Amino acid sequence: MRLRTLARSGLVALSSAAVLLAGATAQPASADPTLDDAKAKLKAIEQEQSEIGEQWAEVKLKLAQGRTKIDTLSTDVAAQQRKVDVLRKQAQQVAITRFQTRGVDITVQLITSPDPESFLADMSTMGKVDQNMNSLLQDYQAQQANLADLQRAARNQVTTIATEEKRLAALKSQVDEKIRAGQALVEQLTEAERRRLETDGAVSRDEARGALDDAAIDTGSANARALAAVKYAVSKVRTGRYVWGSEGPTTFDCSGLMVASYRSVGISLPHSSRAQFGVGRPISRDQLKPGDLLFFYNPVHHVGMYMGNGLFVHARNPRNGLEITRLTSYPAYQGARRVLG
């Protein structure tokens, strides 16, 4: 009886162990929670820094436009000042002439004049002084008011520039803070996790280098200058670095890489992904050709350049630098614009 009980107990124990073992082996291997958590946090940080960076680019554009306006206003103020000075001299001359001749009999002036013919000519002119004097003064006052308006506009523009420069510095500090936060997060990962993180969505460097020499580029249908812009961008993948606000020749941000690439073929683009979203004409995703600009997130704050066969080249962020990425792997696609062709 005791032997039977022991045997039964042993069988139950073995069965329980087998069930536990089977359950353990049947569970799927879960993804590394540390890496997944880091990816989620990094994604949030990089989107924030990209958005701040886009604001920074827009402020920088506004500053450039403001400084151009200051130059124009300065030229206008100088020209207006010359007009006012001329009118002032004319008014002064008229006033002096009237003062010098007041109370003197015209007959006496004619007799005593060393040049009577000239005097009579002057009298003809002076006869019109009274009717012209009011017109001259009105013109002078109007031009003086225009000068004051231009001077006020110039002062306001200087104040605006000073405010925007402070905002630019504040945005730069925010971007730098986000970059440091991302770097600190990456430093907590193991070497293997970092490698997996860095290759997430990107093609290999070898594949990137060969992309222009194989079927990845539809050279038959793409605009020749657009292809040249693509080649410029891809040529920077190996050695280029990501730096906020930079547009080459060795450092770039996302819109800066587009600026430099199209500048290499004689096309000027604004240094802002949102501003670039208004360049050229919209293109549907199924009609993409090499050289088309691709835009991401809403509101737009990232841009890349299509290469063909589902690949695009871009300055991704300070952590990843410049890379070639599969379009299907990159989030929040918003649309494309064709600059050439």
The pLDDT tens digits for 268-310 are: 999 999 999 999 999 999 999 999 999 999 999 999 999 988 9
Please tell me whether the peptide bond between 318 and the residue prior to it is cis, using omega within 30 degrees of 0: no
The separation between the first and the last C-alpha atoms of the chain, rounded to the nearest angstrom, is 93
Backbone phi, psi, residue 306, to 5°: -70, 140
Q: Domains of the chain by range and CATH?
A: 34-187 (1.10.287), 201-338 (3.90.1720.10)
Please tell me whether the peptide bond between 290 and the residue prior to it is cis, using omega within 30 degrees of 0: no
Helices (H) and strands (E) in the chain, counts: 10, 8
Length of the chain: 341
Burial of 90 (0-12, 13-18, 19+ CB in 10 A): middle
3 state DSSP class of 327: helix
**What DSSP state is assigned to residue 285?**
G
What is the rounded CA–CA span in Å between residue 271 and residue 63? Answer: 12
Q: State how beta strands 293-296 and 333-338 pair.
A: antiparallel
Stretches in the chain below the pLDDT threshold 50:
1-31, 103-104, 106, 108, 110-111, 119, 125, 208, 212-215
pLDDT at 11: 38
pLDDT at 110: 47
The pLDDT tens digits for 28-39 are: 444 456 778 877
Beta bridge partners of 317: 321
Which residues are catalytically annotated?
254, 302, 314
pLDDT at 304: 98
Of 308, 314, 312, nearest to 326 (Cα)? Answer: 312
pLDDT at 28: 42
